[in-house]
Structure 1
Amino acid sequence: MCILFFYVNDDADDNGYRLILASNRDESWTRPTKPASFWGTSPECIGGQDEEPGREGGTWLGISKEGKVAAVLNILDIVNPDKKGRGFLVRNFLTSKLSSSCYLKDIMKHREQYNLFHLVLIDLRPKMSIIDYYSNGDGHHNKSHHLPKGFHSFSNAEYGKCWQKEVAGKQKFIQIVKEHGKKTEKEILITSLIQLLTDSTQHKDDPFMKSQCHKLGRPTEGEIMEQRSAIFVWSPSIQFGTRTNTIILVDKNGHCEYMEKTLRTPVNVKNPEWSTFSTSFQLQLDCGVSLDHSK
């Protein structure tokens, strides 16, 4: 279970942000993971990295110094362990020289090699940002979606069937950005976004979540279901939950601030500990990119 909220505004003023992004990664506590850092083999990219055997180097979220942002969210479904790791969808985009449209055309050709996913690609290199989205589970496997600027959210729900925690979280995210989305209020903005990402309010009667679980033969009632209906997931009985909170802020001049909180493992259930990482760097937004989505 994961959740993503982001806002893109190409008309940001000197006190505003061009990109505000907040994300949770929900994962098994036993899955080996490297916290956020610049990647040794691709030092222009930053993000956490999977260390699961056979999935090493993949990631759920990252950004490159060239201004490319990518996130993948798994759609709750039956998992075939023999398929490719979805984390490579993010890594390969960030390390490639391809535009998002070219990259997605290639992914569409190989969509059946992956379990179901939502893939969000944001390109800040051109003056007018490009936001592209593709899912191999939306029924339109040969079509990606060019999203408008503004507010967006994604979770592990099926395409077009947003879970209640995503809907409620998006409304809170919009309110936070409208009230505090200014550089002069950065600390309040970050604090408010962390509060959103750690919101344990449960949405127990979510019809779409229950329907999705029912189709998979999973329980539609009970403790685990209730715990997963919250933005912040905490299921100690199965050693699963929110392990990472990430915030990315980019201003109109391409100055990026990257912040991450990571749950320390092995997890002390009675007294969980979190490590914090933050860094800032300048994006190179003058490298250019083709705006022709037909190429």
Structure 2
Amino acid sequence: MCVVYFYQNENFESSGYRLVLAMNRDESWRRPTQTVQFWGTRMDCISGLDMERGKEGGTWLGMNKSGKIGVVLNIPGQGDPSKRGRGFLVSDYLSQDLKMEVYADKILRTRDDYNGFNLILFDVTVSSYYLLSTSSETYGLANSPLEFPFLKVQRGQERFSSIVGKYSDTCTKQSLVDGLMDLMADKTPFHQDAELDKVIAAARLNPAFTACRSAINICCPLEEFGTRTTTVILVDMEGKVDYIEKTVDHLGPVQNEETVHKTFKLSK
């Protein structure tokens, strides 16, 4: 069950960061995926890419040099395979020349074309964001319906806020990254999560695996499912971006990790 935490500073006159974001992508270990890089067709866009047949080019999280960031979290359920891949909600936002509010209005009108999702759209040049969902128009940060957050969202947000508050100055950037990566690697299960139980039941998933799915960082070997990618994005007040992504390969005889760190400046 993917999870994302973010902090956005509305005061561009202050020091520190415009945006701090951390996300775990939880997915089948065998789903074909391209690791993070600038797109060959759009060198101003950066993300990992879904390479599943029929879903190629979609993404769960990405950014462009104009300051757009998109995040999508799928709401588990008995989806309609004929509907459009939810990863295109993000890749279209990054690649289309539409303002955030215009794109958000477009998705609100066409959201029935997709299976259940929570979508977060950012424009860090104006310090604003939109939260869109097929379940509600309120606030949330996980695969659950927005109005019913999982325990790992609630408890993790407390730790996230503490880390960001402690290392809010850019001179402590590495400590901030290390703290966020440590948070996102936490495999401690949150037992007795009623909202997670409801989502597991609605998606007709095996309830025996509820405990492993309740953690911030998921590892379910029997299902070959879990956290494959952890991403941290930092945007400072001068528009400098650190895009850090760690990908874990669980399928080899030895678990391998690859970390990519891209730095660039916003174009505006």
TM-score (normalised: structure 1): 0.87
Report the equivalent of 1:27. Answer: 27
* Aligned residues of 2:26 and 2:228 also touching (Cα < 8 A): yes
Displacement of 1:284 in angstroms is 1.7
Q: Work out whether residues 36 and 48 of structure 1, in 8 Å CA contact, stay in contact via their aligned partners in 2.
A: yes
Q: Does the 8 Å CA contact 2:33/2:48 hold for their aligned counterparts?
A: yes
2:129 aligns to what? 131
Q: Give a deviation string over 1:216-271, Cα, whole Å, max 9, x none.
A: 44444x2x111000000001111110000000000001000100000126344xx3
1:237 and 2:222 are equivalent in the alignment: yes
* Distance (Å, rounded) in 1 between the aligned partners of 2:179 and 2:13: 21
Q: 1:264 aligns with which of 245, 249, 264?
A: 249
Q: Deviations over 1:73-125 (max 9, x none)?
A: 00122222221100000000011111122112211222111110000001122
Taking a change above 3 Å as real, the CA distance of residues 52 and 219 of structure 1, as seen in their structure-2 partners, is: closer
Aligned amino acid, residue 116 of structure 2:
L
Query: Partner of 2:231 in structure 1?
Result: 246
Deviation at 1:12, TM superposition (A): 5.2
Deviation at 1:14, TM superposition (A): 6.5
Q: Quick check: 1:182 aligned with 2:165?
A: no
Partner residue in 1 for 2:266 = 283
Partner of 1:105: 105
Structure 1 vs Structure 2: percent identity of aligned residues? 38
Corresponding residue for residue 273 of structure 1? 256
* AA at the equivalent of 1:48: G
Tell me which of 196, 206, 212 is aligned to 1:227. 212
The secondary structure found in structure 2 opposite 1:172 is helix
CA distance in structure 2 between the partners assigned to 1:205 and 1:35 by the alignment: 34
Deviation at 1:210, TM superposition (A): 1.0
> What is the aligned partner in structure 2 of residue 49 from structure 1?
49
Rate the CA distance shift 1:265–1:204 in 2: closer, same or farther, 3 A.
closer
Contact in 2 for aligned 1:46/1:62 (Cα 8 Å): yes
1:103-152 alpha-carbon deviations (Å, 9 max, x no partner) = 122112221111100000011223xx1211110122xxxxx56x8xxxxx
**Whole-Å Cα distance in 2 between the matches of residues 229 and 159 of structure 1?**
16
Q: 1:241 to 1:217 in 2, by over 3 A?
A: closer
Q: Report if the CA contact (8 A) 1:29-1:267 is conserved.
A: no
8 Å Cα contact 1:55-1:87 kept in structure 2: yes
Please state how far the C-alpha of 1:13 moved relative to its aligned partner: 5.8
| Aligned partner letter, 2:130 | D
The Cα offsets for residues 146-179 of structure 1, whole Å up to 9 and x where unpaired, read as x8xxxxx611111200000111110000000011
Give me the whole-angstrom Cα distance separating, in 1, the residues matched to 2:267 and 2:70.
16
- Structure 1: gaps (5+ residues): 139-143, 148-152, 286-295
In structure 1, the residue corresponding to 2:199 is in which secondary structure? helix
- Cα distance, 1:159–1:15 mapped onto 2, change above 3 Å: closer
Question: Does the 8 A contact of 2:142 with 2:153 survive in 1?
Answer: yes
Q: Which residue pairs with 1:292 in the alignment?
A: none
The aligned residue for residue 197 of structure 2 is 210
* Separation in structure 1 between the aligned mates of residue 169 and residue 13 of structure 2, nearest angstrom: 9
- Contact 1:10/1:252 (CA < 8 Å) preserved in 2? no
Indicate the SS of the match to 2:81. Answer: coil
The answer for the alignment partner of 2:153 in structure 1 is 166
How many equivalent pairs are there?
A: 268
Cα offset, 1:39, TM superposition:
0.4
Partner Cα separation in structure 2 for residue 17 and residue 183 of structure 1? 7
